[in-house]
Amino acid sequence: MLIEIYKSLLQFFGKQYWWPAETKDEIIIGAILTQNTSWQNVEKAIFNLKKEGFCNLCKIRDVPLEYIQQLIKPAGFYKQKSVYLKEIAKFFANFDENTTDTLQFRKMLLNVKGIGLETADSILLYAFSRPVFVIDAYTIRFLKRKKLFDSSKYEEVQSFFMQNLPNDVELFKEYHALIVKLAKTYCRKNPNCTECPIKCA
């Protein structure tokens, strides 16, 4: 079922090539900046960071908070997000990816202030290519509307995907991106989904 839906989305929209970024640090930074924020505004903030050479966690760690705040303002919530960027920068300053399995890694990320379930999984999947399925509000709404799975609990929904799909990082990356693409294209403006490529149940 889920795999057929994936194929339909892929055929309809094509590959999304998520996550759009040049470096691993940029993915991590973007994952925090995009919390409840449009990607368009995140791009402005990342542009500012790049322009000043601070789209880099080591550099973010060693610069005044106020300086980061000024650069990321277009992404909103700049006071808290500047702290979160500092926190995640400190975390990765002494972390060895190679000696940490995915479950441990996930728990460690969740202990960082500012990193919740979705942000942690986005970092794991897109920055480190760990096989975890990212869930967001679009995904939960999508499953409910299509009457595929009725739950708002993050890890329940995540298990639903991961137990019904092959354990494939590239599949997970594209599938989440396609659900976001679908939501942005149709479901927001048009709840009836008359043009939606996925049939309503």
Partner DNA sequence: CACCAGGAATGTA
Partner DNA sequence: TACATTCATGGT
Sequence-distant (6+) residues with CB within 8 A of 112 are: 84, 87, 88, 91
Q: How far apart are CA 184 and CA 147, in angstroms?
A: 20
Task: Provide, rounded to whole angstroms, the least separation between the CB of residue 53 and DNA.
Answer: 21
Nearer to DNA, 1 or 110 (CB): 110
Task: Provide, rounded to whole angstroms, the least separation between the CB of residue 68 and DNA.
Answer: 12
Nearer to DNA, 19 or 105 (CB): 19
Burial of 99 (0-12, 13-18, 19+ CB in 10 A): exposed
Task: Provide, rounded to whole angstroms, the least separation between the CB of residue 140 and DNA.
Answer: 10
Nearer to DNA, 120 or 196 (CB): 120
Nearer to DNA, 1 or 153 (CB): 153
Applying CB under 7 A, which residues contact DNA? 18-20, 30-31, 34-41, 44, 73-81, 112-120, 122, 126, 136-138, 152-153, 180, 183-184, 188
Which residue shows structure tokens 């969740």?
110
> Residue 192 — φ and ψ, nearest 5°?
-75, -15
Q: Tell me the HSE value of 147 on the side-chain side, using a 13 A CA sphere.
A: 3
Task: Provide, rounded to whole angstroms, the least separation between the CB of residue 198 and DNA.
Answer: 17
CB 46 within 8 A of CB 85: no
